[in-house]
Amino acid sequence: MDPNGPIVDPAWAAARARAADLPLDGWYAEPFPAGEARALLCRLGAAGPGLAWPARLAEVIARAALERPWEAAWMNLRALAPDGRAAALAELVRGQLLVARRLRAGRAHLEAGFRLAAPHLDARGYLVLLRRHARLAALPLSEAPRPPAPLAALLAEAGVAARLAAAAGRARPRAPAPPDRCDTVG
């Protein structure tokens, strides 16, 4: 099992029947080939307005991959979240899509998503997200978008940034504190 969590294919996610079938510790923002994203949007559009929540999530990811406006679709997705677990996943995915383009706003969504997801995660999933977010905390982010990068490249860049910061004598960025410290210290 990948220590950074599973990489989730949007087409696979669209085929799931329920939001509960999607992993909270997954990475949903891998660069998605434009042709596949267009094909997925066509399939989802042909399905009509009664899309299941996972298909709506896949639509947001495909729109982001094509650099089409996706914020309104994300707001609908968040509003239609069937439960707290799905709401957490929506926040995490928004954060991932923004961080993959190295946008500063993504960090706040990752943190909010982690707080919302914590009660729904098993121990392994909790640690996967905690470690991934701690490593991504060192990633230099800005207001200007860059082309989306795969998770492995983002983690490598964050590792280099952390080592450079340590070499320069600056403190390493801290990971967000878990919502309840008693589960990490006993």
Q: What tens digit of pLDDT does each residue of 36-67 get?
A: 999 999 998 887 778 899 999 999 999 999 99
Average pLDDT, the chain: 89
Q: How far apart are CA 85 and CA 166, in angstroms?
A: 36
Query: Residue 119 in 3-state DSSP?
Result: helix
Alpha-helical runs (H) found in the chain:
10-14, 34-47, 53-65, 71-79, 84-100, 105-117, 123-136, 151-167, 182-185
Q: Length of the chain in residues, anyone?
A: 186
pLDDT tens, 112-164?
A: 999 999 999 999 999 999 999 999 999 999 999 999 999 999 999 999 999 99
- Bridge partner list, 103: 142
Q: Taking residues 4-33, what's their average pLDDT? A: 90
- 3-state SS assignment for residue 123: helix
pTM, two decimal places: 0.86
CA–CA dist 116, 99 (Å, integer): 18
pLDDT band of 166, cuts 50, 70, 90: confident
pLDDT given for residue 134 in this prediction? 95
| Per-residue model confidence (pLDDT) at position 81 | 95
Q: Which residues contact 61 (CB under 8 A, 6 or more apart)?
A: 10, 13, 28, 29, 32, 37, 93, 97
